[in-house]
Amino acid sequence: METEKEQKVEVVAIIPARYHSNRFEGKPLALINGKPMIQHVVERAQTVPLLSRVVVATDDQRIADCVAQFDGEVVITRSDHVSGSDRLAEAAELLDISEYDVVVNIQGDQPLFDAEVIEQVAGPLIHDPSLPMATLIYKIVRPEEIDDPNHVKTVFDHENNALYFSRSPVPFQRNPEEEQSPTYYKHLGFYAYRKGFLLTFVALPEGEWERFEKLEQLRALEYGYRIKVVLTEHDSIEVDTPEDLKRVEEFIISKNK
């Protein structure tokens, strides 16, 4: 008889989705080429062979009804969650996922993500049972993103374990006259957690650096947990405003042509 650790690890994608947003109310239901954005995200995730389930986690009945209409799986969570990670953890509990299984957090506002990134972010946890958490990074190619606080930068060690995440440009170049400039990497909002660690993570008190930077992942580093960063070649457009939505639509139209 197999022990729990010998059993095959399953990978489950959970997509937290909120209706209320300061910058874009009702964003998950916004139409892209006639289809709700949340449907684009779910259908893209369903193409990933690694995933055993794709579930939307929401506290809003309008979103739940929308997901049900296109036969997606949805779970209703509490409405008082402070962060997406808290909603993710409650959903993982409601879905009765094993503590050894891997939970992938897919942002509901990234309808164009490349399917390969799911395998890239989950891979380290599948191959290393001791690893609690992984995320993605992307080499910055647009100079305007370096100083933009909405694009989070990261530095990491020689084994690709994260050292720090910041809204400021890191590393800081002390001597700008040097010929070689630093390579900057931005954080992409895809996470993979061991389910058992996810519950531990959301129970931790807020970290000091997390409080200043407003970056949840810093909490894990402050409390001594490893975060493996995986360099991907796939950037992903986030939809934060109606203008971003237009960019996505234009991209899809041009791709179809």
What is the number of other CB atoms lying within 10 angstroms of the CB of residue 253? Answer: 10
pLDDT digits (tens, 9 = 90+) for 223-251: 999 999 999 999 887 887 888 888 888 88
For helices 195-203 and 84-94, angle between their N-to-C axes, nearest 10 degrees: 130
pLDDT digits (tens, 9 = 90+) for 114-154: 999 999 999 999 999 999 999 999 999 999 999 999 899 99
Report if residue 212 sits inside a domain. Answer: yes
Closest Cα partner for 215 from 206, 225, 224?
206
Report if residue 11 sits inside a domain. Answer: yes
Q: Is the pLDDT of residue 3 over 50?
A: no
Report if residue 36 sits inside a domain. Answer: yes
Q: Is the pLDDT of residue 57 over 60?
A: yes
pLDDT digits (tens, 9 = 90+) for 61-84: 999 999 999 999 999 999 888 887
pLDDT at 182: 93
Residue with tokens 């799911």: 118
- DSSP bridge partners of 192: 104, 134
Report if residue 197 sits inside a domain. Answer: yes
Name the band, by pLDDT with cuts 50, 70 and 90, for residue 186.
Answer: very high
Report if residue 98 sits inside a domain. Answer: yes
CATH number at residue 40: 3.90.550.10
What domain range is 25 assigned to? 7-256
Distance of CA 187 to the CA centre of its chain: 9
- How many angstroms separate the CA atoms of 133 and 224, rounded? 12
Q: How far are the Cα atoms of 52, 108, 226 from residue 193, in angstroms, in the given order?
A: 15, 17, 11
Report if residue 2 sits inside a domain. Answer: no
Report if residue 129 sits inside a domain. Answer: yes
Report if residue 1 sits inside a domain. Answer: no
**CB of 116 closer than 8 Å to CB of 207:** no
- How many angstroms separate the CA atoms of 146 and 92, rounded? 35
| Residue type, position 185, single letter | Y
| Residue type, position 238, single letter | E
Q: How many domains does the chain have?
A: 1
